[in-house]
Amino acid sequence: MLIEGKSAASSSSSPPRTSSASSNVAAASPEAPSCRPGPEALQKAYRRRLAKTLADLQRQISRLAGTGSLTRLRSPHSRPPGGGGRQVVPRAAGPRPGARPSRLLLERLVYLGRRYDHPYNQHGMETTNCTGVAPFRSVLTILLPARSWTPKALGFVVARIRALYDVPIVAIRAERPSEDQRDAGVRYLSAAANASDADLLNEAVKLVETPFVLLGESLAHFSNQSSLERLVRVLDDLDHVQAKYTMGYYHSKYECMYCDDLLTPFVTTTKLLRSLAFSAGLSGQALYRDWFAKVRGAGHLAVLCPDVMFFVGDHVNMTADDWLPVARRWALQKVTSFSGETFLFPCEDVGIKCTNIKAMTKWYLLPPCCLDIAMEDVRVLVDFAEREGLEYELQAGSVLGALKFGSYLPWDMDHDVYVECRHFKKWTQKFGAIVKGRNCTPKVKYKNVFLKIICPSFTMDIFCRDALSRKFLPKEYANTPTSILYGGRWTKVTANPGLFARNGIGLEVLKHVQHSSHILNAQKRRGTSAVPVGRPGTWLKCKNPNHHACLDSFPADGNLPFVFP
């Protein structure tokens, strides 16, 4: 990862203080140092290019390596109830009127050594006296989503914050507070009964006048274990960084973990909250899961600093009902939660339709529920063939899916089957009647040769041959057709499926590429003089690069990233 700015050490939690107070530790030199950043940062364009390259490389490595060795994100200092210091780092946060300059002026840090506060180590990374430090109340606002809090709980949290920081506070209340419930310096936003949490937060952000915000979701207490200067200092220096979501963390900087989705209070920039507004209509934890998904999609980064600890009212626990709004908004049929639970949603519940497979597979990986429909088509065919004693064998793209994935190719759009011509009439009549009952339409495209079955989702191309490929097997196996485990069921395929695919499809057949019809259309649009497309091991560029199912966001070789995403 390429990080802009000078190297800065982290600060452990410090004694109660206001934001403008300095540590009593003497500076390294009698003269107070300037807190302005140095000029050594790389040019913005170069940083972005390199950051994108590293992010893409990390994505490929993480997918190829699998998930077995990933570290579960847990603060070494955590205790229930509690959580690490969280931040969201914007990729780019240019200046706006009234906002921060390119770098804030915060106290520098000096590390006083391992033995300075041994054995408890509550101190050791301390601020120095320096000139030009901005008043902290002009740097950060605390936003408290207190709609469900009791007035007593809100008053307690505000009092604890006030004991340490003189900063603006915006609180969302279920009802307008009475005069005796109001706290000085706190702006209140009363919640309409029919307003969603997202709507209220977006309104509250409009009241913020500082460049940074602490969003105190579930905050139940506040103490000197929650160093806001620490979070702002790291957030301010980790600008212009992009990262790809992973469980746990792969990289760190300033003793903070690059991560993605955060479950407790976090600090971010006001500009980011305004540019990536909370999605209207969402409430509860779904609101934050959706927002962090948008943060990822926009190329931003989240950071967790485990030495900054917040005290929260309860651990985040999301049920299937909690996840459903997120799954519906992002078209997710399967969600593996941070708790380890897996939630599956029917296609119709999350707005996925498997009715235009050709358009879908041009850019995107097929959703699991559409793959289930494809596998059910094969099951009906195999059941019929076994019941009637008919021979068949998968061929073309169906064989390729069997070889690569042991199931339907997740960017294919049809089924390819060879049958014996002497039984073609049974396939057209008996099997045709069965598929009609499944809302499919059988059509004989070439008499006694080609039966095409058009279903609401997929099509099936059934060609007849005078003899199937088992004739090429040794005579001892002539009556034992080759079978392959296909979607958990032994299914007949061409005699040597690997040889059939290699010879029939060509070089590097195990590498991936979209369906041949998409490649031909792309080549026609580009013209004969354009650079060729559709080489094995390459995907067509996705029309919606931020979509999580884009084929070109997956490796174009190997099956593990698809089987174990």
Q: Which domains does the chain have, with CATH numbers?
A: 44-316 (3.90.550), 325-351 (no CATH), 359-563 (3.30.460)
Torsion on CA atoms 394, 398, 400, 406, rounded to nearest 10:
-90
d(CA 54, CA 38): 25
Give the residue among 147, 148, 105, 104 at the shortest CA–CA distance from 128. Answer: 105
- Digit-by-digit pLDDT tens for the chain (565 residues) are 212 222 333 333 333 333 333 222 223 333 333 444 444 444 555 555 666 666 666 665 555 554 333 333 333 333 333 445 555 544 433 334 334 444 555 666 777 777 787 666 677 777 777 667 778 899 999 999 888 888 899 999 999 999 999 999 999 988 887 776 677 779 998 888 788 888 898 999 999 999 899 988 888 888 887 888 888 887 776 543 322 233 456 667 777 777 777 776 878 888 888 888 888 888 888 787 878 878 877 777 777 787 788 887 766 778 888 878 877 777 777 777 777 778 887 777 777 888 888 988 899 888 888 899 999 999 999 999 999 999 999 999 999 999 899 999 999 999 999 999 999 999 999 999 999 999 999 999 888 899 999 999 999 999 999 999 988 888 888 888 999 989 889 999 998 888 888 888 887 888 898 888 888 888 777 765 445 567 888 888 898 887 778 898 888 888 877 776 5
Cβ atoms of residues 532 and 519 within 8 Å: no
**Torsion angles phi and psi, residue 563, rounded to 5:** -75, -40
Cβ atoms of residues 223 and 160 within 8 Å: yes
Q: If you ran DSSP here, which 8-state letter would residue 460 be given?
A: E
**Six token digits for residue 275:** 């540019």
d(CA 103, CA 35): 10
What's the chain's Rg over C-alpha atoms?
30
CA angle, 395 as apex, 389 and 398 as ends, to 5°? 105
SS3 assignment, position 122: coil
d(CA 102, CA 240): 11
Question: Pairing between strand 266-269 and 301-312?
Answer: unpaired
CA angle, 412 as apex, 409 and 414 as ends, to 5°? 115
Give the residue among 244, 251, 259 at the shortest CA–CA distance from 297. Answer: 244
Residues paired with residue 266 on neighbouring β-strands, in sequence order: 86, 215
| Helical H segments across 331-391, by residue range | 357-363, 368-388
Question: Pairing between strand 414-420 and 392-394?
Answer: antiparallel
Question: Pairing between strand 266-269 and 212-215?
Answer: antiparallel
